[in-house]
Amino acid sequence: MKKNVRQLLMIPGPTQVPVEVLLAGAKPMINHRSKDFKAVFEYIIKTLQKFFQTKNDIFMLTSSGTGAMEACASNIIQPGDKILVATIGNFGNRFAKIAAAFGADVEKLSFDKGKPVDVKVLKERLAKDTKKEIKAVIFQQNETSTGVLNDVKSIAEVVRAHGALIVVDAISGFLAADLRTDEWGLDLVAAGSQKAFMVPPGLAFVSVSPKAWEVIEKTKGTSFYFNLKTAKEFAPNGETPWTPAVSTAFSMQTALKMLEEEGMESIFDRHRWLRDAVREGVRALGFKLMVEDDKYASPAVTAVIPSEGIDVEKFRSQVRSDYEVVLAAGQSELKGKIFRIGHLGYCDQKDILATFAAIEMTLKTMGYKVELGKSVKAVQESLLSKVKVAA
């Protein structure tokens, strides 16, 4: 028998979506080559430019975030080009594969899981590239698989000094953490609708700097679907080259209005505030945080290493079946070793409180040692101590 219980989606995307945004996506269909769509398109791009903190071109793609990564790679890579991927996890590794698929000579600069890119190491590597062979450096703003927030500003500084293109996969961290496209000189930035934008998946976004355009213009590029030169031709008419996900664009329009009203700084504060509460809750459970250093703790997702002896996948399944609280699994070799709590987008303090209460009760039901209320109290204290930040 299916119980009528609201599900609490605590994964790092797709996130929960406000009903207003869901219903905006249910508006009647319109022609994607019309003044109606043009108005939606132009509002989205203009508002994204604010949130990307950029004057650069921004393009809207109908795809998942991985499509935006493919757009970045395929538009700048010619076979044989040297690309450096500074990877700290699964999504860094994915970007390396994408670059390789388009023929790049990919070098991976890998760092330990749970740690950010070591800027010193990156600097040393780039210093060795005296012939300036490295065409682009790719890295994540936020590594979703481990919950690490990179220091994008410092990484970008080092790459800028070298001269390579700066390509940032900001899909899971965008709007959860500050990202100053122009000030930090980011050439290509990828984002996706299903994260802090509070929108269903289906749209992805890429910003392109003038310096990136210089490279793109000279690059033949393989992908037809993700060709940014084609997107640039259609943009002045308020159109995408191919039929866009119109409904998701409606949702995006409504969500952006809600986010504009809240204001960017408040959105960042809110994410940090919830992150801090989650981290206190995890500590009070006696579990370990995959990211020990608060400075690099993701405001979008927290990776948790439960105490020894806890069957992580069984626990995830139980908290789902008993409370309809959905936690994310570990990815690749972290599967069964960690779980992840997404706290981005349309997530509030009530959700965090309920999640920790449910985690405690599930652990108790499963027979593990747990003090009911302890982690909830830690979450409460954290939330109250910083309430002004979010107010």
Site residues (vs a copy of itself, CB under 8 A): 6-7, 9, 11, 13-17, 19, 22-23, 25-34, 62-67, 69-70, 73-74, 97-98, 101-103, 192, 194, 200-202, 221-227, 241-248, 251, 326, 328-329
Closer residue to a copy of itself (CB): 23 or 161: 23
- Rank residues 37 and 184 by Cβ distance to a copy of itself and give the closer one: 37
CB of 64 to a copy of itself, least distance (A): 4
Min separation Cβ 190 and a copy of itself, Å: 12
C-beta of 224 vs 332, nearer to a copy of itself: 224
Residue 6 CB burial class (10 angstroms; 0-12, 13-18, ≥19): exposed
User: Which lies closer to a copy of itself via its Cβ, residue 13 or residue 116?
Assistant: 13
Closer Cβ to a copy of itself, 16 or 53, answer by number: 16
Q: How far is the CB of 23 from a copy of itself (least distance, A)?
A: 5
Question: CB of residue 183 vs a copy of itself: minimum separation in angstroms?
Answer: 29
Unique residue bearing structure tokens 């800027």:
119
C-alpha of 43 from chain center: 22
Encoded tokens for 171: 């899909």
> Considering only CA atoms, which of 47, 72, 53 is closest in space to residue 61?
72
Rg (CA), the chain: 21
- The nearest distance, CB 55 to a copy of itself, in angstroms, is 28
- Closest CB 92 distance from a copy of itself, rounded Å: 14
Beta-carbon contacts of residue 263 (< 8 Å; ≥ 6 apart)? none
Minimum CB distance to a copy of itself smaller for 158 or for 204: 204
